[in-house]
């Protein structure tokens, strides 16, 4: 180390750093640091005053410790003391300390108020032998810093002219620093600093026209003063084009020179040369776009960017795509941008870097107009099939917006949206499919086509749930339009929809039930079939209150109401009020303000066509509040055609019936034998059940103690099995029986009193530990409990039923708190309810090829979790197999080349989303070790599953 050794005398510091580097473990490092901290503390607190050198050394050590990521809560005073020292070496060390800059700026603060010449006075803070120039530089940037911290402290006025005049300074470094200051100040007081325009232009012109060697040390790889040029161009973007014709002429000349230079052969092959040169070029193009008044320059800029689109440097392609996005919104260059469509489409297909592909998608979106919408939409749809997960949702939104905005006929629009659902159903948000329903409802001419298309789409063997939703709604409203065709006669329509019913989530099933009741109205011949479906035990006694209520109410409505009443209640939906597309609002939210601007301004589309006029934003409707909320009012509640069905708001129906609800038949179907065997006696009236869904009583936070120490261990026993004894002590035994289907579960808890004395005030409750303040229903799990008797006789057993719905993925299980009095003494017990995320696994069978393809798709580091651990049980392949199956995943044979290894796949079903999971377990019999790898599309899920499963072997 040549230059460094001189003057660097802090040996103690070097020794300390070496020590840290030699530490073998994190613990050793922390130990060494704590030792040092104790030492420094005692030195700082000690009686002996420290000399400057020691103070500096210790502050340096503290800085190093801070840099390692440890918190430092002392020593600040010593650092400040160093700052006030009159020895340079001691003062200097403080400058890396955080806040030092403010410190330095603060030095000039009193100076500012005391004298009107901050520049000269700021010199007081600097070593005397510095030349005036470097003082000016630092002072300018300190002032900028100060201004950003508190703008009021910086007085404008008489020295404004002096600051602007710095642009004329001989010293390039001074100008560089000053431009930053002026750019910031002029944003607030554009008029005061207006004189800077002509100075900046002449400075820029001198640099641009200088030969590459003129500026000596300010030339960077043959590019004269690139930093200063970029800053000057940036400054000019704070103002409109210069009014003075001479200044403007000179500036345009500069811009042209930059564009010309881009065509010259490079003076060096070094990347630094091209970067510096292109930095200026891109900033020039930004200025041209900002002015948006020189068609000639705009088109030249566009052509230049077009060249970059095929450059071999990824960075340039990225920037060119980004820059072109803004060019696309200028009326002068929009057409020029459009000529590059093929290149951009190609970029979308072939770029290896996802961030570049993202830019390409943005640009396609920005350059889209009626002439190329079909091509762009179809390319984006094609891209969607292989697109990265991270940007799928955004592409879906973009396609949906473009399809709506540029639809020439609405059958194309309907086709496009259905394609979207087919290709990327998971990423089609509610806003998108609400919107298609809204448009179809509002347009008579497309309703028949929509019904026909959606009917065809539903015939696919596997179709996405969103397709079922759209299909259910459209057929319920407009199924009559295609009922004349025997291939889509009412019974066919119904059986097609009903064939999907059992695979769907609760929300979709609720929607389908509403479709069924609409069918009864539209097609009286289906009444008997549908009533039979509604009457089935699986509906009338569904675990989900919403479904149960709909089944009961619709069944009664269909049997009690006259045809006229039915027709009135279930009349076709009225047209929706026209409002801004909620999709656009969603995209804007995603991308921040300005993202939707390309579509917002109607500049390119002055003759707003009739066909789109109805749904395009108009000034009067843009203000619709909360665009994402309930377009159709069916986020969770039923479609408006159906009466509101939530327990509290069911008045409408009650009025219509005006009598006791029909007694449903409660005979269990065979497949529900397990449930019925355990089920409590049927309630007297279904209404009673509806009225008392008995949400988990919400005990105050103070009521629930922490889980017992062995709660985790007990929980682990249930990760791979559903039934067994959860807890036992001398008084009480708690047994569990549970079953899970998709995102739903039912759990029976059996509380056995092992004593001969009655338990009193017996109350088991379930809470979610996440946040005890919030109601349990808003947690990731919705748990409904039924109350149990408050007394449990000696030797008796009581049973409690829990209905569980998994709304989204979760890491911590709910807590079960059991309290009772035994012989007068209060007893309390908190356990972890054996509900872990893997309970909502659905096994998925797949071929080896599919498995590997998916495995590769989940290759981001955060999607994978891996654990290597020692076997705690004998390594028996059959036992392992049983455990993995109990865990919930499917076991895939013949996938892993090593037959000893286990490979599994499954989907975690929650109401909000599905998480695909792949797992691989590699036993090593010699070492008695396992290696477990989990890959899922959600990071916390991977980790959590890995931890859960690793404890089982």
Which of 228, 440, 530, 932 is in the footprint of other proteins by CB under 8 A?
Answer: 228
Nearer to other proteins, 129 or 607 (CB): 129
**Which residue in the block uniquely carries the two structure tokens 């001198």?**
206
| Region of residue 874 (phi > 0: left; psi between -120 and 50: alpha; otherwise: beta) | beta
Interface with other proteins includes 51 (CB under 8 A)? yes
Stretch that binds other proteins, among 347-355, 502-510, 641-649, 896-904 (CB under 8 A): 347-355
Residue 589 Cβ vs other proteins, minimum distance, rounded to whole Å: 13
DSSP 713-750: HHHHHTSS-S-EEEEE-SSEEEEEEEEEETTEEEEEEE
Measured CA to CA, the distance from residue 31 to residue 392 in angstroms comes to 48
Measured CA to CA, the distance from residue 304 to residue 340 in angstroms comes to 12
In the region spanning residues 703 to 732, those forming contacts with other proteins, defined by CB under 8 A, are none
DSSP 27-84: HHHHHHHHHHHHHHHHHHHSSSPPPHHHHHHHHHHHHHHHHTT----S-HHHHHHHHH
468: Cα separation from own chain's centroid: 26
Which of 353, 485, 713, 893 is in the footprint of other proteins by CB under 8 A?
Answer: 353
Task: Kindly tell me the burial class for residue 546, based on how many C-beta atoms sit within 10 Å of its own C-beta (0-12, 13-18, 19 or more).
Answer: buried
Interface with other proteins includes 501 (CB under 8 A)? no
Interface with other proteins includes 53 (CB under 8 A)? yes
Residue 263 Cβ vs other proteins, minimum distance, rounded to whole Å: 18
Task: Kindly tell me the burial class for residue 876, based on how many C-beta atoms sit within 10 Å of its own C-beta (0-12, 13-18, 19 or more).
Answer: exposed
Which of 31, 41, 87, 188 is in the footprint of other proteins by CB under 8 A?
Answer: 87
* Distance between start and end Cα atoms, the chain: 54
Interface with other proteins includes 17 (CB under 8 A)? yes
Torsion of CA 377, 382, 384, 385, to 10 degrees: 160
Measured CA to CA, the distance from residue 630 to residue 632 in angstroms comes to 5
Residue span 840-879 as binding mask against other proteins, x where in contact by CB under 8 A, dash where not: --------------------xxx-----------------
Residue 101 Cβ vs other proteins, minimum distance, rounded to whole Å: 6
Nearer to other proteins, 115 or 271 (CB): 271
Is 87 annotated to bind a ligand? Reply is no
Which of 64, 222, 389, 657 is in the footprint of other proteins by CB under 8 A?
Answer: 64
Residue 391 Cβ vs other proteins, minimum distance, rounded to whole Å: 11
**CA dist 804 to 652, 738, 794, Å?**
29, 10, 30
In the region spanning residues 174 to 203, those forming contacts with other proteins, defined by CB under 8 A, are 176-177, 180
Structure tokens at 367: 């350059």
Stretch that binds other proteins, among 109-117, 317-325, 489-497, 638-646 (CB under 8 A): 317-325
Which of 154, 197, 259, 276 is in the footprint of other proteins by CB under 8 A?
Answer: 276
Which of 62, 163, 230, 552 is in the footprint of other proteins by CB under 8 A?
Answer: 230
Structure tokens at 437: 């329903």
3-state class of 785 per DSSP? strand
Which of 189, 314, 459, 609 is in the footprint of other proteins by CB under 8 A?
Answer: 314
In the region spanning residues 373 to 402, those forming contacts with other proteins, defined by CB under 8 A, are none
Nearer to other proteins, 279 or 492 (CB): 279
Nearer to other proteins, 278 or 548 (CB): 278
Helix pair angle (26-45, 52-67), 10° resolution: 150
CB neighbour list of residue 864: distance below 8 Å, 6 or more residues apart:
858, 933, 934, 935, 942
Interface with other proteins includes 563 (CB under 8 A)? no
Interface with other proteins includes 685 (CB under 8 A)? no
Is 23 annotated to bind a ligand? Reply is no
In the region spanning residues 279 to 298, those forming contacts with other proteins, defined by CB under 8 A, are 279, 282-283
Is 748 annotated to bind a ligand? Reply is no
In the region spanning residues 90 to 109, those forming contacts with other proteins, defined by CB under 8 A, are 90, 92-93, 95-96, 98, 101, 105
Half-sphere exposure of 915 (CA within 13 A, CB side): 28
Is 271 annotated to bind a ligand? Reply is no
**Which residue in the block uniquely carries the two structure tokens 């960017």?**
305
Nearer to other proteins, 615 or 946 (CB): 946
Stretch that binds other proteins, among 171-179, 329-337, 582-590, 640-648 (CB under 8 A): 171-179
Interface with other proteins includes 3 (CB under 8 A)? yes
Stretch that binds other proteins, among 86-94, 477-485, 508-516, 767-775 (CB under 8 A): 86-94
| Region of residue 694 (phi > 0: left; psi between -120 and 50: alpha; otherwise: beta) | left
Residue 165 Cβ vs other proteins, minimum distance, rounded to whole Å: 19
The answer to whether 506 and 911 have CB atoms below 8 angstroms apart is yes
In the region spanning residues 770 to 799, those forming contacts with other proteins, defined by CB under 8 A, are none
Is 61 annotated to bind a ligand? Reply is yes
Which of 32, 43, 76, 145 is in the footprint of other proteins by CB under 8 A?
Answer: 145
In the region spanning residues 119 to 138, those forming contacts with other proteins, defined by CB under 8 A, are 127, 129-130, 134, 137-138
Which of 142, 305, 547, 744 is in the footprint of other proteins by CB under 8 A?
Answer: 142
Nearer to other proteins, 212 or 760 (CB): 212
In the region spanning residues 234 to 273, those forming contacts with other proteins, defined by CB under 8 A, are 234, 237, 272
Interface with other proteins includes 932 (CB under 8 A)? no
**CA dist 684 to 553, 687, 690, Å?**
17, 9, 12
322: Cα separation from own chain's centroid: 22
Residue 642 Cβ vs other proteins, minimum distance, rounded to whole Å: 42
Measured CA to CA, the distance from residue 511 to residue 469 in angstroms comes to 7
Is 136 annotated to bind a ligand? Reply is no
Nearer to other proteins, 68 or 912 (CB): 68
Bridge partners of residue 892, in order along the sequence? none
Is 434 annotated to bind a ligand? Reply is no
Q: Measured over all CA atoms, what is the biggest interatomic distance in the chain, rounded to whole angstroms?
A: 105
Nearer to other proteins, 276 or 373 (CB): 276
Q: What is the 3-state secondary structure (H, E, C) of 613-672?
A: HCCCCCCCCCCCCCCCCCCCCCCCCCCCCCCCCCHHHCHHHHHHHCCCCCCCCCCCCHHH
Bridge partners of residue 784, in order along the sequence? 695, 803
How big is the site for other proteins, counted in residues (CB under 8 A)?
Answer: 79
Which of 135, 141, 561, 675 is in the footprint of other proteins by CB under 8 A?
Answer: 141
Interface with other proteins includes 347 (CB under 8 A)? no
**Which residue in the block uniquely carries the two structure tokens 């009338």?**
540
Nearer to other proteins, 182 or 696 (CB): 182
Is 11 annotated to bind a ligand? Reply is yes
Stretch that binds other proteins, among 65-73, 437-445, 644-652, 836-844 (CB under 8 A): 65-73
The answer to whether 365 and 398 have CB atoms below 8 angstroms apart is yes
Structure tokens at 396: 């879906």
Residue 171 Cβ vs other proteins, minimum distance, rounded to whole Å: 9
Nearer to other proteins, 21 or 487 (CB): 21
Please provide residue 820's backbone torsions phi and psi, each rounded to the nearest 5 degrees. -160, 170
Please provide residue 180's backbone torsions phi and psi, each rounded to the nearest 5 degrees. -60, -45
**CA dist 109 to 102, 113, 116, 122, 793, Å?**
10, 7, 12, 9, 80
Is 43 annotated to bind a ligand? Reply is yes
Nearer to other proteins, 138 or 526 (CB): 138
Nearer to other proteins, 22 or 928 (CB): 22
Measured CA to CA, the distance from residue 750 to residue 737 in angstroms comes to 8
Interface with other proteins includes 61 (CB under 8 A)? no
Interface with other proteins includes 318 (CB under 8 A)? yes
Structure tokens at 262: 């881009």
Which of 88, 388, 683, 713 is in the footprint of other proteins by CB under 8 A?
Answer: 88
Binding residues: 11-12, 43, 53, 57-61
């Amino acid at each position: 180390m040549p230059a460094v050794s001189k003057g660097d005398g802090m040996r103690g510091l070097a020794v300390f750093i070496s020590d840290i580097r030699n530490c073998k473990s994190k613990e050793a490092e922390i130990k060494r640091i704590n030792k040092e901290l104790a030492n420094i503390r005692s030195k700082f607190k000690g009686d002996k005053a420290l000399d400057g050198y020691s103070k500096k050394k210790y502050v340096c050590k503290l800085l190093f410790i801070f840099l390692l990521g440890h918190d430092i809560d002392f020593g600040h005073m010593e650092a400040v003391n160093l700052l006030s020292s009159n020895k340079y070496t001691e003062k200097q060390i403080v400058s890396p300390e955080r806040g030092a800059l403010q410190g330095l700026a603060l030095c000039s603060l009193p100076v500012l108020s005391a004298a009107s010449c901050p520049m000269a006075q700021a010199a007081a803070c600097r070593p005397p032998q510095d030349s005036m120039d470097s003082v000016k530089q630092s002072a300018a940037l300190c002032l900028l810093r100060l201004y950003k911290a508190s703008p009021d402290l910086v007085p404008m006025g008489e020295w404004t002219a002096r600051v602007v005049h710095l642009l004329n300074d001989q010293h390039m470094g001074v100008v560089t620093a000053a431009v930053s200051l002026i750019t910031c100040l002029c944003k607030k007081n554009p008029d005061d600093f207006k004189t800077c325009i002509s100075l900046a232009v002449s400075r820029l012109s001198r640099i641009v026209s200088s030969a590459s060697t003129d500026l000596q040390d300010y030339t960077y790889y043959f590019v004269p003063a690139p930093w200063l040029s970029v800053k000057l161009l940036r400054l000019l973007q704070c103002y409109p084009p210069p009014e003075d014709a001479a200044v403007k002429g000179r500036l345009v000349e500069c811009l042209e020179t930059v564009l010309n230079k881009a065509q010259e052969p490079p003076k060096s092959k070094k990347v630094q040369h091209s970067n510096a040169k292109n930095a200026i070029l891109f900033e020039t193009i930004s200025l041209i776009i900002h002015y948006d008044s020189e068609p000639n320059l705009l088109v030249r800029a566009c052509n230049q960017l077009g060249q970059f689109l095929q450059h071999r440097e990824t960075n340039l392609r990225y920037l060119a795509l980004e820059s072109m996005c803004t060019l696309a919104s200028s009326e002068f260059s929009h057409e020029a941008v459009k000529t590059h469509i093929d290149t951009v489409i190609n970029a979308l297909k072939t770029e290896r870097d996802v961030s570049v592909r993202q830019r390409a998608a943005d640009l396609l979106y920005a350059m889209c107009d009626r002439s190329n919408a079909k091509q762009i939409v179809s390319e984006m749809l094609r891209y969607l099939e292989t697109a990265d997960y991270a940007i799928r949702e955004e592409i879906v939104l973009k396609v949906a917006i473009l399809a709506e905005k540029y639809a020439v006929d609405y059958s194309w629009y309907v086709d496009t949206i259905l394609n979207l659902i087919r290709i990327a159903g998971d990423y089609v948000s509610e806003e998108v499919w609400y919107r298609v329903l809204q448009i179809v409802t509002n347009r008579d001419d497309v309703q028949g086509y929509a019904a026909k298309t959606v009917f065809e789409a539903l015939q696919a063997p596997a179709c996405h749930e969103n397709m079922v939703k759209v299909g259910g709604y459209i057929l319920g409203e407009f199924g009559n339009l295609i009922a004349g065709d025997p291939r889509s006669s009412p019974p066919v329509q119904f059986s097609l929809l009903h064939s999907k019913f059992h695979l769907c989530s609760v929300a979709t099933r609720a929607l389908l039930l509403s479709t069924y009741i609409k069918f009864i109205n539209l097609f009286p011949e289906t009444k008997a079939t549908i009533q039979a479906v509604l009457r089935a035990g699986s509906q009338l006694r569904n675990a989900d209150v919403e479904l149960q209520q709909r089944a009961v109410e619709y069944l009664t409505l269909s049997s009690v109401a006259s045809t006229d009443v039915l027709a009135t209640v279930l009349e076709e939906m009225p047209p929706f009020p026209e409002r801004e597309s909620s999709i656009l609002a969603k995209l804007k939210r995603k991308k921040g303000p300005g993202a939707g601007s390309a579509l917002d301004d109607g500049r390119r589309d002055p003759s707003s066509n009739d066909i789109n006029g109805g749904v395009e934003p108009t000034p009067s409707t843009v203000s619709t509040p909360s665009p994402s909320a309930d377009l159709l009012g069916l986020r969770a509640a039923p479609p408006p055609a159906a009466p509101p069905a939530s327990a509290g708001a069911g008045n409408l129906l009650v009025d219509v019936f005006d009598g006791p609800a029909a007694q449903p038949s409660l005979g269990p179907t065979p497949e529900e034998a397990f449930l019925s065997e355990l089920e409590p006696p049927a309630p007297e009236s279904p209404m009673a059940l509806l009225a008392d869904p008995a949400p988990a009583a919400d005990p105050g936070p103070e009521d629930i103690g922490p889980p017992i120490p062995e709660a985790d261990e007990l929980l682990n026993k249930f990760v791979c099995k559903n039934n067994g004894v959860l807890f036992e002590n001398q008084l009480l035994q708690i047994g569990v029986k549970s079953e899970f289907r998709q995102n739903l579960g039912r759990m029976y808890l059996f509380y056995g009193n092992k004593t001969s004395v009655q338990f009193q005030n017996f109350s088991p409750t379930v809470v979610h530990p996440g946040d005890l303040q919030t109601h349990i229903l808003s947690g990731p799990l919705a748990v409904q409990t039924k109350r149990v008797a408050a007394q449990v006789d000696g030797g008796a057993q009581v049973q409690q039923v829990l209905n569980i719905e998994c709304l989204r993925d979760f890491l911590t299980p709910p807590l079960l708190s059991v309290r009772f009095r035994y012989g007068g003494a209060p007893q309390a017990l908190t356990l972890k309810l054996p509900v872990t995320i893997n309970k909502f696994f659905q096994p998925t069978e797949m071929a080896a090829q599919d498995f590997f393809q998916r495995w590769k798709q989940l290759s981001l580091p955060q999607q994978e979790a891996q654990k290597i651990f020692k076997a705690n049980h004998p390594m028996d392949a059959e036992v392992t197999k049983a455990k993995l199956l109990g865990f919930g995943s499917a076991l895939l044979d013949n996938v892993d080349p090593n037959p000893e290894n286990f490979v599994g796949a499954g989907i975690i079903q929650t109401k909000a989303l599905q998480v695909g999971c792949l797992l691989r377990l590699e036993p090593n019999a010699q070492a008695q070790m396992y290696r477990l790898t989990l890959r899922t599309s959600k990071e916390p899920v991977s980790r959590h599953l890995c931890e859960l499963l690793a404890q089982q072997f």
